[in-house]
Chain A
Amino acid sequence: MRALGVVPKTRRRRNEALLGYALVLPALVVFSVFTFYPFARNFKLALYVTPPYPNLPSRYVGLHQVAQVLTSSSFLTSFETTLLFSVMVVPAGLLLGLALAVAAHRKLRGIAIYQTIFSSTVVTSIAVTAVIFGTLMNPVVGLLPWLGITTTPPLLENPTWALPCIAVLTVWQGIGLSFIIMSAGLQSVPDELLEASRVDGASAWTTFFRITVPLLSPIIFFALVVATITAFQSFGQIDLLTGTNSAFLHTNVLTYNIYQTLLVGAGNPGKAAILSIALFVATMLLTLVQIRLLERRVHYAR
């Protein structure tokens, strides 16, 4: 007979394993149904054409449709727009967040108020931001008529200016998160290092570029990857501000293109699936490129 209360080792192991599976199961079910299955199904849908009339069966066309979509000007322009948009949004957002975080990382009177102000844009959703800036860019009540400037057509109906305008509000909305991430990073930079550099007579610029930036590089890198992925998925501001005119206004980013292809008019799941795969591949490649090119330069303390 075994001593009371002592469970044999093998059984304890088995129980531990069973508990482990049970604990990861809920998340795994959600991922399987709503992430992996739909992700994989894109590759099947891509090979089928849905006729533009309801209740007709979809038809297998193989890779023909893939080639057709990937060479279409609609896809190529929206891909280009997405890239251009990211270039406008990502560096500006990171720089602003970093600058504000460094400025607010000081023991000055009233600093807590500034910190609250800078992080506050995390609570203004993209819909709220779009409405706020839509008003500021309005041709009648906006800022430009204040300054006596009139643009024809108005900013948000102007193929040249619509995308930069949307980029401006996207950067503004991103300030909060960028600031919070950078501030969190700054807190792990030892104050003594910054102090020592100051005592040694280093100028603010030198301290910033020689001490702060290298020590912050893992965080900056993290923020860059997150910001790029977020920029690639921008949707709400486009839907609210340029909507169905997006193709004409050169604001038809990939996500908006997917949405339109899937839901506007008859809807075309096959084409939308191909665009989704393209979005995934683009996100993935961009992240990998960033990791390969930049991570070597990132300075890890450990």
Chain B
Amino acid sequence: MPAENEARRSHRRRQRRKWVSYLLLTVGAFIVLFPIYMTIVNSLLPADLIARRPPSLFPFHPEWSTYATAWSKGHLGIYLRNSAIETAIITVGQLTTAILSAYAFAFLDFPGKRVIFIVFLSTMMIPFEVTLVTNLSTISRLGWYNTFQGLTVPFLATGFGTFLLRQAFLQIPRDLREAASLDGYGNLRFMARVAVPLARPTVAALGVFSFLGAWNQYLWPLVVTGDNNAIRTVQIGLKQLQATQINQIDVTLAGTLIATAPMLILLIIFQKQLIRGLTAGAVK
């Protein structure tokens, strides 16, 4: 019967498609995971086995001491703490300035609003690298070289964050604002109790982006932190580890894994928010 044939053929096609999908997915997963896997293996191998050919693809006698060495000799404890402080300040700061300004742009009327909004957007066109020359001298003139202020204050506001949140706030019905004001809600209370909770997916996504961006910064921490370890971040610590442990690749690799672990945990927890927040926001 033709209908039955048709059904069987379409079933077979669907099966084939499924296998093609899995094949593609597995190739992709291999591309992403292979470098990470080799890093884990090499970080656990004794130094003389890393260079052995053919290589060991599995650490049968893992040497966990590399992690202890990376931790103590690489001062990773201090660097991780510094990175955590830096990241917390920048994330909270960016979220705060973005929520406040996005609320103003979405809900309030004031002369010059359009122009100021364009000014905010224009900051996205100026890469931080372009402002490096003067920012460095500004920071030293303020006496902020090698301090957390110097490390974080230039990043406490982003045009991107304001823009993303404004788009989310604009989706909140105006009637809701009117209704709330009849209930005696002032602007600040409406912002805290209604607007921010309703825009939570976007706020969460923005938070994750700020967090990742701050944690992974490289150029600015490199130029604004001094030679002592006081506020050096973990990314710059890796550069130092690579330079000083040149003969101990396993220790350097252990260090990179230690530096990445906190972020990986965060990603696994917040993955859904990240994608959902992006969908709800400006790039819909």
Query: Which residues of A are at the interface with B, using a C-beta cutoff of 8 A?
Result: 13, 16-21, 23-24, 26-28, 30-31, 33-39, 41-42, 45, 96, 99-100, 103-104, 106, 108, 111, 114-128, 131-136, 138, 140-141, 145-146, 172, 175, 180-181, 183-185, 187-188, 204, 218-219, 222, 229, 232-233, 235-236, 239-240, 255, 258-259, 262-263, 269, 272-273, 276-277, 279-280, 283-284, 287
- Asked, given contacts A24-B105, A128-B256, A184-B279, whether A276 binds B130 with beta carbons under 8 Å apart, the answer is yes
Does residue B212 face the partner (Cβ distance < 8 Å to A)?
A: yes
Q: Which residues of B contact A258 (CB under 8 A)?
A: 129, 132-133
Q: Which residues of A contact B118 (CB under 8 A)?
A: none
Are B100 and A23 in contact, CB atoms less than 8 angstroms apart?
yes
- Asked, given contacts A114-B25, A125-B218, A204-B17, whether A276 binds B55 with beta carbons under 8 Å apart, the answer is no
Report the separation of the CA atoms of residues A232 and B127 in the bound assembly, to the nearest whole angstrom. Answer: 9
Report the separation of the CA atoms of residues A235 and B116 in the bound assembly, to the nearest whole angstrom. Answer: 31
- A219, A259, A284: the one within 8 Å of B219 (CB): A259
Q: How many A-B residue pairs have CB under 8 A?
A: 275
Are B260 and A125 in contact, CB atoms less than 8 angstroms apart?
yes
Q: Which residues of A contact B238 (CB under 8 A)?
A: 127-128, 131
Q: Which residues of A contact B105 (CB under 8 A)?
A: 24
CB distance from A29 to the nearest CB of B (A): 8
Are A37 and B35 in contact, CB atoms less than 8 angstroms apart?
no
Report the separation of the CA atoms of residues A126 and B234 in the bound assembly, to the nearest whole angstrom. Answer: 12
Closest to A16 in B: B108
Are B283 and A219 in contact, CB atoms less than 8 angstroms apart?
yes
Q: Which residues of B contact A100 (CB under 8 A)?
A: 24-25, 28
Are A188 and B100 in contact, CB atoms less than 8 angstroms apart?
no
Are B119 and A31 in contact, CB atoms less than 8 angstroms apart?
yes
Are B219 and A34 in contact, CB atoms less than 8 angstroms apart?
no
Q: Which residues of B contact A27 (CB under 8 A)?
A: 97-98, 100-101, 120, 156-157, 162
- B156, B157, B274: the one within 8 Å of A180 (CB): B274
Contact residues on B (Cβ < 8 Å of other chain), bracket:
35 or more
Prevailing SS type, chain B contact patch: helix
Q: Which residues of A contact B226 (CB under 8 A)?
A: none
Are B101 and A125 in contact, CB atoms less than 8 angstroms apart?
no
- A23, A99, A128, A131: the one within 8 Å of B101 (CB): A23
Contact with A along B81-123 (1 / 0, CB 8 A): 0000000000000001110110111001111010010011001
Are A120 and B242 in contact, CB atoms less than 8 angstroms apart?
no
Report the separation of the CA atoms of residues A185 and B235 in the bound assembly, to the nearest whole angstrom. Answer: 31
Are B263 and A187 in contact, CB atoms less than 8 angstroms apart?
no
Report the separation of the CA atoms of residues A108 and B19 in the bound assembly, to the nearest whole angstrom. Answer: 10
- Asked, given contacts A30-B153, A123-B267, A188-B279, whether A103 binds B129 with beta carbons under 8 Å apart, the answer is no
Does residue B192 face the partner (Cβ distance < 8 Å to A)?
A: no
Report the separation of the CA atoms of residues A126 and B127 in the bound assembly, to the nearest whole angstrom. Answer: 17
Report the separation of the CA atoms of residues A258 and B50 in the bound assembly, to the nearest whole angstrom. Answer: 37
Are B111 and A280 in contact, CB atoms less than 8 angstroms apart?
no
- B38, B129, B157, B212: the one within 8 Å of A123 (CB): B212
A-B complex: 7 closest residue pairs judged by Cβ atoms: A38-B134, A20-B110, A123-B263, A125-B216, A27-B157, A236-B218, A38-B131
Not counting A134-B242, A272-B133, a sample of 4 additional A-B residue pairs whose C-beta atoms are within 8 angstroms of each other reads A20-B113, A28-B101, A108-B25, A204-B20
Closest to A45 in B: B133
Prevailing SS type, chain A contact patch: helix
Are A135 and B253 in contact, CB atoms less than 8 angstroms apart?
yes
Does residue B182 face the partner (Cβ distance < 8 Å to A)?
A: no
Report the separation of the CA atoms of residues A17 and B111 in the bound assembly, to the nearest whole angstrom. Answer: 7
Report the separation of the CA atoms of residues A267 and B211 in the bound assembly, to the nearest whole angstrom. Answer: 32
Are A103 and B17 in contact, CB atoms less than 8 angstroms apart?
no
Report the separation of the CA atoms of residues A3 and B168 in the bound assembly, to the nearest whole angstrom. Answer: 37
CB distance from A63 to the nearest CB of B (A): 18
Does residue B22 face the partner (Cβ distance < 8 Å to A)?
A: yes
- Asked, given contacts A27-B162, A125-B215, A287-B125, whether A120 binds B267 with beta carbons under 8 Å apart, the answer is yes
Closest to A135 in B: B249
Closest to B50 in A: A141
- Asked, given contacts A27-B162, A30-B157, A125-B216, whether A131 binds B278 with beta carbons under 8 Å apart, the answer is no
Closest to A263 in B: B223
- A36, A172, A183: the one within 8 Å of B31 (CB): A172
Are A141 and B103 in contact, CB atoms less than 8 angstroms apart?
no
Are A118 and B154 in contact, CB atoms less than 8 angstroms apart?
no
Q: Which residues of B contact A229 (CB under 8 A)?
A: 127
CB distance from B104 to the nearest CB of A (A): 4
Q: Which residues of B contact A280 (CB under 8 A)?
A: 125-127, 130
CB distance from B32 to the nearest CB of A (A): 5
Q: Which residues of A contact B66 (CB under 8 A)?
A: none
Report the separation of the CA atoms of residues A23 and B108 in the bound assembly, to the nearest whole angstrom. Answer: 10
CB distance from B39 to the nearest CB of A (A): 5
Are A37 and B134 in contact, CB atoms less than 8 angstroms apart?
yes
Does residue B252 face the partner (Cβ distance < 8 Å to A)?
A: yes
